[in-house]
Amino acid sequence: MTADKLLDTAWVVDWTRRSAAAVTESIEELNALDAAIGDGDHGTNLCRGLEAALAKLDAAAQAGDPPPTPGGALKAVATSLLATVGGASGPLLGTAYLRASRGGTLTELDAAAVAGLIEDACAGVEVRGRAEAGDKTMLDAWRPAAVAARSAADRGAGPAEVLAAAARAAAQGAQSTEPMTARKGRASYHGVHSQGHRDPGAQSTAILLEAACHAAGA
């Protein structure tokens, strides 16, 4: 896939497949991050949700009725995450994917549409979680990813390059949560003791966006 190739439903399916594999590979890391400031099951829960989403997409393809648009595929992922991922991350990520599916009538996504997809996902996390940048949540990865994606699209980058910029920014955003004091969710119960621990939702966001980048061929 070339850097300027438009992205279609097959990209969303591949993104989901790569996400499930990457989270499975990182499940112990994510659970350990969550154990330090949460319930210790973030990786397990997210893995379950992504596997359910992938099963739904694969079943639709086998039945000869795959989602006709990237937005339709993203909506299928969203409903699976909302139904199967526990804790706060299920509603947050489910809402992110649901917001991202809003360009539902487009059969192919150019760079601007990809940037819009990430911005919409970020807005979903922000509204559903009532979070702000610096609260030590997954928003601290989604927000810089959205900014980087829009900046890349505005300077003429292709869809894959937009995703690469978003993935790099998300990884940096996840790392930036380590010295923060958590102000939202279960992590906030730890107060200053949450400092020195990376937010698991921010880390999984970086993993998901890296998978999106690889699925686009970047």
Please determine, for residue 29, whether its predicted confidence score (pLDDT) is greater than 90.
Answer: yes
- Cα–Cα distance between 218 and 216 in angstroms, integer? 6
Return the CATH number of the domain spanning residue range 9-215.
1.25.40.340
pLDDT over 80 at 36, yes or no: yes
CB 49 within 8 A of CB 19: no
Report the predicted TM-score, pTM, of the whole model to 2 decimal places. 0.94
Mean pLDDT rounded to a whole number for the chain: 93
| pLDDT tens digit sequence for 57-116 | 999 999 999 999 999 999 999 999 999 997 888 999 999 999 999 876 899 999 999 999
pLDDT tens digits, 116-140 = 999 999 999 999 988 888 889 999 9
Higher pLDDT, 182 or 216: 216
In our burial notation (b when 16+ CB lie closer than 10 A, e otherwise), range 78-88 reads bbbbbebbebb
Listing DSSP states for 24-82 in one string gives: HHTHHHHHHHHHHHS-S-HHHHHHHHHHHHHHHHHHHHHTT---SSHHHHHHHHHHHHH
Give the bridge partners for 109, in sequence order. Answer: 7
In angstroms, the CA 6 to CA 159 distance is 7
63 neighbors 80 (Cβ within 8 angstroms): no
pLDDT band with cut points at 50, 70 and 90 for residue 189: low
Q: What is the pLDDT of residue 193?
A: 64
Instruction: Provide the residue ranges of all domains of the chain, joining segments of one domain with +.
Output: 9-215
Q: For 2-12, write each residue's pLDDT tens digit.
A: 457 999 999 99
Asked if 134 and 175 count as a contact pair (C-beta separation under 8 A), the reply is: no
Instruction: Give the whole-number percent of the chain exceeding pLDDT 90.
Output: 78
